[in-house]
Amino acid sequence: MEQSIGQYFSMLVFSMSFGLPVAVISVALGQGKAAAAAFEGMARQPELQAKMQTSLIIALAFLEALVIYALVMFFLLYGKLPATDVLIQAISNAGQAAVSATGH
């Protein structure tokens, strides 16, 4: 039981520490590609600059919303983590239980 709890918390910490940076990096790359394509289109057809600029702002807002969702998930998962002293106590209790079960 303690092992599954430990695995749960370790995967929770891993997802928190890995998920948000991956979301931020991917959205940053997507925003860069969208802006580059929009600027290239504006350079090719300057008469459509206003329409392209509006479309670019809307696209960037949708991309940024993904990072905000990832940030909200980060804070929701952060609330699921136990206090450090409680986790240390649970790990030490599990270790003592394992030692007493083996009879050493």
Q: What residues does each domain of the chain span?
A: 2-96
The CA-to-CA distance between both ends of the chain, in Å, stands at 21
- The more confident residue out of 77 and 38 is 38
pTM: predicted TM-score of the whole model, two decimal places? 0.66
Q: Is the pLDDT reported for residue 91 higher than 80? A: no
Question: What is the fold, at CATH topology level, of the domain defined by 2-96?
Answer: F1FO ATP Synthase (1.20.20)
Q: What is the pLDDT of residue 98?
A: 67
- The more confident residue out of 24 and 104 is 24
